[in-house]
């Protein structure tokens, strides 16, 4: 699948930030669909069987671990472009994963990566 950059020219404190996504909704999965090894990574989830997860680039993510992009004192100064997403999780100081639930549907999720 080809990757697209969206939006172009997002900035983070004067440095260009790139957001890459194919904007294709992917199906979320339930804890009951995780492998035994993947289940050990989420031992903090009380009702693992019905909890929602998603796979992206070889890893499994819990959307509940993402920080919301909603305006508030917990996320002042978010980079341009993050307002088009529902949440983010940093992989490092310079990169991470963005998520968006299309049409407020928790059965599908759109995932992207950000880099600065």
Is the N-terminal amide bond of 3 cis, ω within 30° of 0?
A: no
Overall domain count for the chain = 1
> How far apart, in whole angstroms, are the C-alpha atoms of residue 110 and residue 86?
10
3-state secondary structure of 100: strand
- For 25-55, the DSSP string reads -EE-EEGGGS-HHHHHTTTT-TTGGG-EEEE
pLDDT confidence band for 15 (50 / 70 / 90):
low
Is residue 69's pLDDT more than 80? yes
Phi-psi region of 73 (alpha: psi -120 to 50; beta: other; left: phi over 0): alpha
pLDDT (tens digit per residue) in 45-56: 999 999 999 999
Query: pTM here?
Result: 0.80
Helix segments in 8-116, DSSP class H = 36-40
Indicate the pLDDT class of residue 14, thresholds 50, 70 and 90: very low
Q: Which residues constitute the domain of residue 56?
A: 4-115
């Amino acid at each position: 699948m080809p990757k697209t950059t969206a939006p172009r020219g997002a900035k983070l404190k004067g440095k260009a930030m790139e957001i890459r996504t194919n904007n294709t909704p992917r199906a979320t999965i339930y804890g009951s669909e995780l492998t035994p090894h993947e289940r050990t990574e989420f031992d903090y989830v009380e009702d693992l069987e019905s909890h929602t997860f998603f796979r992206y680039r070889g890893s499994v993510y819990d959307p509940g671990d993402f920080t919301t992009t909603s305006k508030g004192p917990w996320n002042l100064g978010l980079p341009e472009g993050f307002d088009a997403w529902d949440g983010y999780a940093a992989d490092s100081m310079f990169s991470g994963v963005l998520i968006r639930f299309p049409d407020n549907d928790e059965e599908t999720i759109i995932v992207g990566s950000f880099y600065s």
